[in-house]
Structure 1
Amino acid sequence: MSKNIIVLIGGPSSGKTTLINALKEKGQVCYPEISREVIREAQAKGIDQLFLENPLLFSQLLLEGRIQQFKNAHKEESDYVFLDRGLPDVLAYMNYIGDSYPNTFHQACKEYQYTHVFVLPPWKEIYVSDTERYETYEQAVLIHEHLKETYKKFGYHLIEIPKDTVENRLNFILGKLSKIN
């Protein structure tokens, strides 16, 4: 079996991190979302919302971090490696706010391709805002649409995960992967 680099995408507070944590508990190799780390580092330097204040710098830092995650994932011994968000997320968020970005962002998305993309739809009942998540639920829905559109532009087939319990969502992913591979 070849290496499967699997990315989970979706708007803010759709359950990605909870699902990544559940996959980890089942012994899967998982890489966390890195934007919270970038946000906390900026906040420690007195920048409250780096994405809002300097979206290009924030996006460049995310892109670099996600490229490193992709490279590290290929070194893992496991057949499956799950990532909480991928490179095209950076472009989707920049498109969402209407900012431009260098062509190197687009090239990175073409160069580093994921094996499978699972998408978690917006889910109002589980939506929560916090110090690193400033978006409203309505904005999360718009971001979700930008994410789907961006991944499709790079030729990805999106597999939508149904709204269900964490255990059922986990079983859905693992079941789909067993049928695909």
Structure 2
Amino acid sequence: MNRFVVISGCSGGGKSTLLAELFARGFSVVEEPGRRIVRQEQEGEGLALPWVDLAAFARKAIAMAIADRKAAADNAGWTFFDRGLVDAAAALEWATGETTVCRLAASYPYHPTVFMTPPWPEIYAGDDERRHGMDEAVAEYERLAALYPALGYEVVPLPKVSVGERADFVLDRLQG
């Protein structure tokens, strides 16, 4: 069984916090490609930032997501990804109309269950790496919530509960 689990969904919905909890419980986790790319680009004079050149950003995110998946190949047990290849390819499709999502998704599959953080305005916060507003975050969530099932994944929305309860929910769902 594929043990690569994607946590996707709304920006600011608690994905990174959930991954930190899963890591604290001893699981392998992979940080969101987008945040790593933004940090790298901001350290230099890079222009592959989502608010400058979304297509260049998405292409870098695709390459990083593929590399992340390959790097995790030898991990034992569950590996949790904060977003992944489908999210990156969806961003490229949104920016350019290029339809790479289906081909990439088939080439690099994840566990058939994808957990989605729903929009949660009460915890949403922008920062230097997340400059878009809640409206853009919700629109992205809606695109992903439609795309994952179209690619054959089962989408499971995460409840709006404490991070510990969310981690328990994910683990219980994967065990059952």
Provide TM-score, normalisation by structure 2.
0.91
List 4+ stretches of structure 1 deviating above 6 A: none
CA deviation string 1:121-179 (max 9, x = no partner): 01011000000101111211111001111212211111111000011101100111110
CA deviation string 1:67-124 (max 9, x = no partner): 1111122211x2211100011112332444x5223x5554222211111311110101
Question: Does the 8 A contact of 1:92 with 1:143 survive in 2?
Answer: no
Q: Which ranges of structure 2 fall in alignment gaps of 5 or more residues?
A: none
Partner of 1:79: 77
Shift of 1:53: 2.1
Structural RMSD (CA): 1.7
Partner of 1:89: 87
CA deviation string 1:31-61 (max 9, x = no partner): 1112112112212223477223222221111
1:135 paired to 2:127:
no
Q: How does 1:104-119 map to 2 (within 5 A)?
A: 104-115=100-111, 116-119=113-116
Q: 1:3/1:153 Cα in 2 relative to 1: closer, same or farther (>3 Å)?
A: closer
Question: Does the 8 A contact of 1:93 with 1:146 survive in 2?
Answer: no
1:66 paired to 2:62:
no
Question: Does the 8 A contact of 2:102 with 2:151 survive in 1?
Answer: no
Question: What is the identity, as a one-letter code, of the residue corresponding to 2:103?
Answer: Q
Question: Does the 8 A contact of 2:116 with 2:157 survive in 1?
Answer: yes
1:54 paired to 2:53:
yes
Compare the two structures and name the one with the higher helix fraction: 1
Partner of 2:175: 178
Question: Does the 8 A contact of 2:27 with 2:77 survive in 1?
Answer: no
1:151 paired to 2:148:
yes
**Distance in 1 between residues matched to 2:101 and 2:124, nearest whole Å:** 29
Provide TM-score, normalisation by structure 1.
0.89
Q: 1:49/1:111 Cα in 2 relative to 1: closer, same or farther (>3 Å)?
A: closer
1:24 paired to 2:32:
no
Q: 1:141/1:153 Cα in 2 relative to 1: closer, same or farther (>3 Å)?
A: same
3-state SS in 1 of match to 2:50? helix
3-state SS in 1 of match to 2:96? coil
